[in-house]
A and B are shown apart, each in its own frame.
Chain A
Amino acid sequence: MAKQRAPDAAGRADKPGEDALLAGLRAGRDEAYEQLVRGYGGRMLAVARRLLGDGEDARDAVQEAFSSAFRSIDRFEGHARLSTWLHRIVVNAALMKLRTRRRKPEEPLDDLLPAFLADGHRIDPGGPWQPAEALEHREVRELVRRSIDRLPESYRTVLLLRDIEELETAEVAEMLGIGPGVVKTRLHRARQALRGLLDPELREGGAAARSTRAVKP
């Protein structure tokens, strides 16, 4: 998956390791299935939680993703990495869940976008943000996650899929059943809205500067 492409020590296999695992899966070996779930399940759960939150839905999405992967393992051709293939499957499973959810009340996106005067200048230019190193705090990461969660669902989903899950525009368009142009427009507006939510906190002299000044990263 996008954030786990490199091999690591947590059981996610490199390419030769993946080939051996795939052979085991195709042969129906129980231990290969267990290795797959243990090796990839944690990161798949993280993806599902980004889209669905920490509740039961995220675990259900991972279970459904594995069921779907097990059913179609014979059709996996090995052109993509196993991790990339599983990433798309869990994203699709999470999107299915999102579609069936009752919508929560949302802030109108326009309220979060920059406002302009008739001559095209911004009404509140604000000013520069604090230096990047001042924002490398756990509190700022939490603020960003909370702010992403405040975006209207259709914008939050596109931002997560493009910027955080690092899927291509065409893939996101296909997954969501919308045109690539719509994906681009929504992404740009989602980024602007997220920037608008962060701005009061992260601009020079903003709240995050005051609350994190004494906190170590």
Chain B
Amino acid sequence: MSQPTLTCREFIDFIMGWLDGELEPAVRRSFAEHLDMCPDCVDYLDSYQRTVALGKAAWDAPGDAPVPDEVPEQLVQAVLAARRRA
């Protein structure tokens, strides 16, 4: 089996470029080769992608504080009063 052309450190540096489709073709090939050979980096890439997904979902669930769908009445009145004064 040949040695990966990227180290794990370099692989991790390139993850965002890989996910955004911004890597040069040669780097993309090296990235894919490393992914084929390195189970640790397979796990790292998976957990990186899931970190992004969990971040996006962290405020999504209805019923979870602190995500108000309704604006507090006091704030509505303060905003409207400020407009009348302006």
Contact = CB atoms under 8 A, between A and B. Distances in A.
A184 interface: yes
Contacts, number: 145
Nearest to B53: A132
A49 B66 contact: yes
Contact of B59 (A50, A59, A129): A50
Interface in B42-59: 43-44, 46-48, 50-59
Nearest to A203: B47
B76 A37 contact: yes
A195 B60 contact: no
- Chain B contact residues (Cβ within 8 angstroms of A): what range? 35 or more
A63 interface: yes
B9 A195 contact: no
Contacts of B48: 191-192, 195
Interface residues of A, number: 57
Contacts of A159: 55
A88 interface: no
Contacts of A119: 7
A127 interface: yes
A188 interface: yes
Nearest to A184: B16
Contact of A114 (B12, B53, B55, B72): B12
B71 A38 contact: yes
A191 B70 contact: no
Contacts of B15: 188
Interface of A: 3, 10, 30, 33-34, 37-38, 41-46, 49-50, 54, 59, 62-63, 66-67, 70-71, 114, 116, 119-122, 125-129, 132, 135, 138, 140-142, 144-145, 148, 159, 163-164, 184, 187-188, 191-192, 194-195, 198-199, 202-203
Interface of B: 7-10, 12-13, 15-16, 40, 43-44, 46-48, 50-61, 64, 66-72, 75-76, 78-80, 82-83, 86
